[in-house]
């Protein structure tokens, strides 16, 4: 049976969803809109059911394009998501507001189950609810008390699904014609006010507040956490802890994953006979997969912390204190988390923009997110810094190399904010959203919910980013393996004639051959083809090749330099590669990797939109090629101009 979950935001809807479906859930999109659609399956004694979690709303009437899904699915019985049974989750501690949506659903006359969730909170607040009396007003709808956070009431809910009389004749809550047209705001307002009047009338007998016990702990915490000094201070402190985890501690499992895939690659290389298939796996597919899986520890940790902050209720305080600061940039308090996530990886960052109701603010956040330096850029930055920035110290202890790295991060952040200001002026979108939201009370996080969130998000990342990165890796492998007939053979023959080749050892001979092959391949030709375009930036065709392969993932830049300079992959510190790169000379005898070229490359990597996976996710999230293409063009222009200016100034 098709069952749908409805409810206001913050009523524990997702707790109930997790409680019923566990890990048997999947995240997709509702057709035509950009909000996520969570669905899953679960069994009752009698049947198997398909459960869909609808976005949390206060009413069936939409305020944004995304909320239209609720209205559309309910008003059209042919709709794919039209439910055969709707479970309405209400917050028992706030019945008045929560019953509005329930009474609207009631008037659709679909079979309903009403769940009074957060029963414990209501009790703690001294609210007594006369369930029998409430039942009297809605005789055909079973009413169930639950405390989903600790799993209480699940059996009752499952039993109710089986025992419900689906054919029962239903009366109306409100006698007027229902529902109103989607655009008729005035009629909607009138209807909502009438409903509230009637709800308040009913509640007079149903709900008794013994005493209004305020949540004093929440208020006390708020006094500190949204304080004009301590609020920001604590937020920055929390961020530092998170970054410590995702950059320092995550490096350990990341190295394991990396190492095991290197082992797997060489194992496959030895198992399969030499040839194309061997190459495809050991040099194309396996490194491609490794490039995706390597980021799992970071992404999982990042989502763990975000889910923890969200579950505890702290995140809405961050939105509250950051909103005013973000607004001059055309952003929103809710842009903060996506932008911070993007420092690990832009993909989870872009997925996290779903909470931003205002479409324009959301689009701007999505477009600028990839300018935050993600962790795939770190290997590129560190290599280039080691190459061209001297290892000296300011005042004897401040590392110049460290300062440059910091400057690159700031360059990304500042240009992201500046771009946001420009976009704010030029992007014209109606569909104005509001910041109006409820600030939930602080709660102890439920580990189970956090665990499920992390698993789901990692799945989305691996799948969305993975298929693109894998596809690009294979394409690049083909381009690097094949060349116009005879071209590669010529290059190899030429290389084999050199003095150096004849006198060197076996290992070095192999790397020279692969380097020559790459030069003769389609990618080598592409690198040479774009050389005139990138010469003003201080690059030669070899760097051109590395720029092209970076479109799979930025960190591939480093690996491709190894191949192209025929350096045997050595240590973490890249000693061999660095000395080779330092010796590389231009035709006029000057070094290729001068300070100017190095800085120009760093600037290029700060700005350039080189991540196809991110573009694919932007396309998916915005439902149009318009935004990812705009992003590609803007960031490409910034990268080219930025690199051009830095090279010309320094050269």
| Contact set with other proteins (CB under 8 A) | 58-59, 61, 63, 93-94, 96-97, 100, 125, 185, 188-189, 192-193, 196, 212, 219, 222-223, 226-228, 231-232, 316, 319-321, 323-325, 333, 432, 434-439, 441
> How far out from the chain centre does Cα 412 lie?
18
Q: Please report how close the Cβ of residue 59 comes to other proteins at its closest, in angstroms.
A: 4
DSSP letters, 493-525, are: HHHHHSHHHHHS-HHHHHHHHHHHHHHHSHHHH
Nearer to other proteins, 72 or 614 (CB): 72
Q: Please report how close the Cβ of residue 354 comes to other proteins at its closest, in angstroms.
A: 19
Nearer to other proteins, 290 or 318 (CB): 318
Give the torsion sign (CA, 562, 565, 568, 571): negative
Nearer to other proteins, 395 or 434 (CB): 434
Please report, to the nearest 10 degrees, the dihedral formed by the alpha carbons of residues 591, 597, 599, 604 taken in order. Answer: -150
Q: How far is CA 581 from CA 346, 516, 532, 549, in A?
A: 30, 17, 21, 18
**Phi-psi map region of 54: left, alpha, beta (phi>0 left; psi -120 to 50 alpha):** beta
In whole angstroms, what is the distance from residue 594 CA to residue 651 CA? 8
Q: Please report how close the Cβ of residue 434 comes to other proteins at its closest, in angstroms.
A: 6
Are 578 and 385 in contact, with CB atoms under 8 Å apart? Answer: no
Helix (H) or strand (E) holding 116: strand 112-117
Q: Which residues of 96-131 are buried (b: 16+ CB within 10 A; e: fewer)?
A: eebbbbbbbbbbbebbbbbbbbbbbbbeebebebee
Nearer to other proteins, 131 or 435 (CB): 435
Nearer to other proteins, 57 or 147 (CB): 57
Q: How far is CA 108 from CA 9, 296, 542, in A?
A: 21, 44, 66
Tally the C-alpha atoms within 13 A of residue 103's C-alpha that lie toward its C-beta. Answer: 24
Q: Please report how close the Cβ of residue 458 comes to other proteins at its closest, in angstroms.
A: 31
Are 373 and 606 in contact, with CB atoms under 8 Å apart? Answer: yes
In whole angstroms, what is the distance from residue 39 CA to residue 20 CA? 11
Tokens linked to 482: 């094949």
Q: Please report how close the Cβ of residue 538 comes to other proteins at its closest, in angstroms.
A: 44
Q: Please report how close the Cβ of residue 173 comes to other proteins at its closest, in angstroms.
A: 16
Give the torsion sign (CA, 75, 79, 81, 87): positive
Nearer to other proteins, 378 or 437 (CB): 437
Nearer to other proteins, 176 or 648 (CB): 176
Q: Please report how close the Cβ of residue 277 comes to other proteins at its closest, in angstroms.
A: 59
296-312 and 230-243 helices, crossing angle to 10°: 150
Q: Please report how close the Cβ of residue 98 comes to other proteins at its closest, in angstroms.
A: 9
DSSP letters, 584-611, are: -B-TTSSBSS-HHHHHHHHHHHHH----
Q: Please report how close the Cβ of residue 38 comes to other proteins at its closest, in angstroms.
A: 23
Q: Please report how close the Cβ of residue 64 comes to other proteins at its closest, in angstroms.
A: 10
Nearer to other proteins, 91 or 519 (CB): 91
Residues found in the chain: 651
In whole angstroms, what is the distance from residue 328 CA to residue 338 CA? 17
Nearer to other proteins, 224 or 493 (CB): 224
- Hey, is 10 helix, strand or coil? coil
Tokens linked to 641: 């101009």
Nearer to other proteins, 227 or 568 (CB): 227
Q: Please report how close the Cβ of residue 317 comes to other proteins at its closest, in angstroms.
A: 9
Nearer to other proteins, 188 or 401 (CB): 188
């Amino acid at each position: 049976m098709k069952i749908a979950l409805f409810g206001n935001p913050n009523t524990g809807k997702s707790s109930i969803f997790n409680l019923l479906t566990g890990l048997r859930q999947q995240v997709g999109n509702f057709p035509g809109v950009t909000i996520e659609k969570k669905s899953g399956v679960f069994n009752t004694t009698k049947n198997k059911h398909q459960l869909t979690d609808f976005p949390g709303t206060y009413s069936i009437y939409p305020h944004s394009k995304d909320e239209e899904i609720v209205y559309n699915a309910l008003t059209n019985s042919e709709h794919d998501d039209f439910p055969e049974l709707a479970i309405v989750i209400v917050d028992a501690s706030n019945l008045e507001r929560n019953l509005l949506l329930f009474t609207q659903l009631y008037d659709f006359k679909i079979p309903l189950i009403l769940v009074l969730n957060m029963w414990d909170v209501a009790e703690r607040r001294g609210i007594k609810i006369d369930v029998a009396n409430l039942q009297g007003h809605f005789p055909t709808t079973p009413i169930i008390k639950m405390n989903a956070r600790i799993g209480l009431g699940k059996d009752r809910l499952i039993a109710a699904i089986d025992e419900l009389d689906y054919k029962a004749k239903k009366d109306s809550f409100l006698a007027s014609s229902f529902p109103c047209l989607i655009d008729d705001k005035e009629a909607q307002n009138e209807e909502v006010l009438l409903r509230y009047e009637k709800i308040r009338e009913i509640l007079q007998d149903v709900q008794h507040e013994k005493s209004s016990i305020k949540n004093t702990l929440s208020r006390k915490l708020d006094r500190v956490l949204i304080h004009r000094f301590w609020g920001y201070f604590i937020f920055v402190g929390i961020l530092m802890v998170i970054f410590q985890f995702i950059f320092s501690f995550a490096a350990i499992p990341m190295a394991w994953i990396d190492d095991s895939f290197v082992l797997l690659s060489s194992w496959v290389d030895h198992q399969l006979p030499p040839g194309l298939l061997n190459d495809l796996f050991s040099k194309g597919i396996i490194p491609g997969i490794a490039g995706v899986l390597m980021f799992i520890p970071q992404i999982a940790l990042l989502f763990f912390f975000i889910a923890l902050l969200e579950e505890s209720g702290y995140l809405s305080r961050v939105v509250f204190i950051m909103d005013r600061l973000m607004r001059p940039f055309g952003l929103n308090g809710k842009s903060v988390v996506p932008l911070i996530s993007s420092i690990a990886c832009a993909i989870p960052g872009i997925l996290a923009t779903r909470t931003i109701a205002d479409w324009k603010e959301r689009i701007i956040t999505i477009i600028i997110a990839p300018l935050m330096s993600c962790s795939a850029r770190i290997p590129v930055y560190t290599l280039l810094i080691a190459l061209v920035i001297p290892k000296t110290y300011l005042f004897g202890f401040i590392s110049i190399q460290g300062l440059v790295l910091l400057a690159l991060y700031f360059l990304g952040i500042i240009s992201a904010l500046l771009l946001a200001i420009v976009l704010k002026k030029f992007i014209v979108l109606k569909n104005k959203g509001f910041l109006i939201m409820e600030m939930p009370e602080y709660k102890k996080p439920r580990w189970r919910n956090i665990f499920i969130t992390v698993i789901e998000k990692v799945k989305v990342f691996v799948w969305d980013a993975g298929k693109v990165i894998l596809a690009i890796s294979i394409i690049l492998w083909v381009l690097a393996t094949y060349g116009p007939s005879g071209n590669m053979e010529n290059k190899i023959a030429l290389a084999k004639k050199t003095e150096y080749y004849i006198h060197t050892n076996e290992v070095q001979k192999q790397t020279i051959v692969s380097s020559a092959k790459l030069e003769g391949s389609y990618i080598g030709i592409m690198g040479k083809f774009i050389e005139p375009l990138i010469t003003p930036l201080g690059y030669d065709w070899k760097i051109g090749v590395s720029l092209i392969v970076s479109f799979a993932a930025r960190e591939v830049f480093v690996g491709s330099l190894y191949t192209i300079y025929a350096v045997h992959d050595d240590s973490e510190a890249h000693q061999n590669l660095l000395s080779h790169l330092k010796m590389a000379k231009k035709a006029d005898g000057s070094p290729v990797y001068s300070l100017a070229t190095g800085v120009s490359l760093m600037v290029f990597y700060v700005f350039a939109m080189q991540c196809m996976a991110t573009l694919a996710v932007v396309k998916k999230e915005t439902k149009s090629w318009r935004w990812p293409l705009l992003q590609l063009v803007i960031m490409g222009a910034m990268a080219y101009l930025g690199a051009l200016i830095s090279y010309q100034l320094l050269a």
